Amino acid sequence: MKKRITTLFLLALGVSSIAQAQTDIPGVGIGNPLPSQSAMLDVASTNKGVLIPRIELTDLNTFGLAGNTKDEGMLIYNATEVKDASNVVTIGIGFYYWTNKPTGQWEKVTSQSVVNTLSDRIKVVENATGSGENGGGTVVYVPGEDGKPGKLVIIDKTTGTSEIPLDELLLGNETETFFKVVEVEEEVDNVKKTFKKLHYFG
């Protein structure tokens, strides 16, 4: 009986030691002899970077990598710009990560230059719609024909008419925003009328 208890004690001690050892195992260090305990890979350098695999995406809804495991958070760098038949960029160059929500697709990681471009376009729309000190004018949404992207037409009394194609504003810069024209029925002067409205989804 005593021998059995001793054996069980030693076995439990061994399992505990293995578990502790696995917890204390450091990650891999490259250029760093003491990698962080919280990192599986710790790369250190003062004059070199890390190259993420460069892939040529052809469809944002297709995983397309070897093994087809569709791992959440998979990171790649799309090295080739993709354009549609109208020469509009549909997949821009840059970093993308895979998400399985809601149905699985590559999401583009935005950058400061993209944010600046979108911000400049938004300022133009704000000025035309009356927001801010320089506001004044009219913005009209013109739906695209035959499945083509629509555009915002800005009519200003001082600068004239200018256009902002929505494909240039969004496609190729980020992947989560889209517009859709829907018909709604509203009552105007006790008369029901059908209008087309632009809905934003982001």
In this structure, are strands 89-91 and 54-55 parallel, antiparallel, or unpaired?
Answer: unpaired
**Distance of alpha carbon 79 from alpha carbon 92, whole angstroms:** 9
Closest CA to 119 of 174, 192, 178, 185: 174
Domain ranges (residues) in the chain: 2-43, 54-108, 112-201
**Mean pLDDT estimate for the chain:** 73
How much is the average pLDDT of 52-73?
A: 95
Residue 97 pLDDT > 90, yes or no? yes
For residue 14, the surrounding DSSP H or E stretch is helix 2-24
- Contacting residues for 178 by C-beta, under 8 A, at least 6 apart: 170, 201
The DSSP bridge partners found for residue 28 are 41
**Lowest-confidence range among 86-90, 102-106, 147-151?**
147-151
Closest CA to 105 of 141, 133, 74: 74
pLDDT tens digits, one per residue of 8-29 = 555 555 544 444 445 567 789 9
Closest CA to 122 of 166, 69, 172, 92: 166
Please tell me the predicted confidence (pLDDT) of residue 175. 54
- Higher per-residue confidence, 22 vs 184: 184
Q: How big is the CA angle at 171 (ends 112 and 100), to the nearest 5 degrees?
A: 85
Q: How many CA atoms lie within 13 A of 173 on its CB side?
A: 18
- For residues 140 and 155, is the Cβ–Cβ distance under 8 A? yes
Band (pLDDT 50/70/90 cuts) for residue 66 is very high
**Distance of alpha carbon 172 from alpha carbon 90, whole angstroms:** 5
Please tell me the predicted confidence (pLDDT) of residue 19. 44
Token pair for 101: 């929500």
